[in-house]
Chains A and B, each alone.
Chain A
Amino acid sequence: MNEEQDLKKIEHESVRELMQDGFTEIMAGTIFLFFPVIFARPYFVPIFVIFYIFFLPHFVEVVRKKYVYPRIGYVKLREEEPPKVTAGVVITVIIMIAAGIILIYSISIGIISSDLVYRCVPAFFGLIMWAPSVYLKDKTGQSRYYLFGALMTITGVAVALADFLPVEIVIVIYSLSWSAAFFVLGITRAVLFIRKCPVIESPEDDSGEQ
């Protein structure tokens, strides 16, 4: 009897139940929609961060209360404990900051071409997307989420290697393509969810009226 695996399976089912509304994909699509703007005008970053952290979750919760919870019920997943700050984490962060500083300095003095860096941004972003892919696989138990990391890396590298594309639009093409893909996927899942899960008349409604 493997209880840990059974509990993990139940947790996976709970997360999958909540994710079938397509909101995760729609929020990903929103990020990619604004990414070219943020990259071109970095001073939009604070505005986007405020919007994404404070307003978007509230908006998503309002929509979920209206359309999702009456169909599948309300669940709040357990929040994970924040990761412990170990020496390894600190060293990794320091290395990343140092690499960033060296990169920016190298560009400023002409050792590395800024065009090359701009071309590599999609590939780099694709690699970063392995993190949420692995996270979603861990939370849902579904290996198909690895596909996102793989496809985003492959398309990022492909776009970076496409010399025929002007460097100014490489990031725009990559971001808007993936934004459209995520929106289509999210909206499709939302429509299927609404069709599959009708609003449940809770017996509490009758008992509350008595």
Chain B
Amino acid sequence: MVSNEDRESAIDIDKLIHEPARLIIMTQLYVVEEADFIFLMRQTGLTWGNLSSHMSKLEEAGYIEVRKEFLDKKPHTILKLTPKGRESFREYRKAMDEVFKDLP
């Protein structure tokens, strides 16, 4: 019988990415080079507050880089996955594949 400790250590899922809203954000940024807030809001369906909050967590972890600039004198925030973020997302995918691997 597999112990709880063995089960937890067998599959290491990145809990930061695993949260549904952050997973959607990471997935969307994974398939593009970079995108701004408005694009991400439209594609993910998240509100600005939600997106802003999750963006901060991902930025703290070093998964995304945030660039602020001005477009027509209006603030414009652009998000992009860092190399660490891309690698972490790939590792997350592998971990999830491992979870479902032996299912019928």
User: Which B residues form the contact surface with A (CB < 8 A)?
Assistant: 27-28, 30-43, 48-49, 71-72, 74-78, 93, 96-97, 100
Contacts and interface: CB of A to CB of B under 8 A. Distances in A.
Consensus secondary structure, chain B interface: helix
A14 B31 contact: yes
Contact of A204 (B31, B32, B76): B76
Interface residues of A, number: 27
Given A7-B30, A14-B28, A73 B40 contact: yes
Contact of B35 (A75, A207, A208): A75
Contact of A14 (B41, B43, B96): B43
Contacts of A76: 32-35
Interface in A1-38: 1, 3, 7, 10-11, 13-14, 17
Given A7-B30, A72-B39, A74-B36, 11 more contacts: A3-B96, A10-B27, A10-B43, A14-B31, A14-B35, A70-B38, A76-B34, A77-B33, A202-B37, A204-B48, A208-B74
A203 interface: yes
Contact of B75 (A13, A77, A205): A205
A7 B29 CA distance: 11
Contacts of A73: 35-42
Given A3-B93, A3-B97, A10 B31 contact: yes
A13 B40 CA distance: 12
B37 A75 contact: no
Contacts of B35: 14, 73-76
B75 A7 contact: no
A72 B42 CA distance: 7
Contacts of B39: 17, 72-75
9 contacts: A1-B96, A7-B30, A14-B43, A74-B35, A74-B36, A77-B33, A202-B74, A207-B75, A208-B74
A13 B43 CA distance: 9
Q: Which of A66, A76, A204, A207 has the most B CB atoms < 10 Å from its CB?
A: A204
A65 B71 contact: yes
Contacts of A200: 38
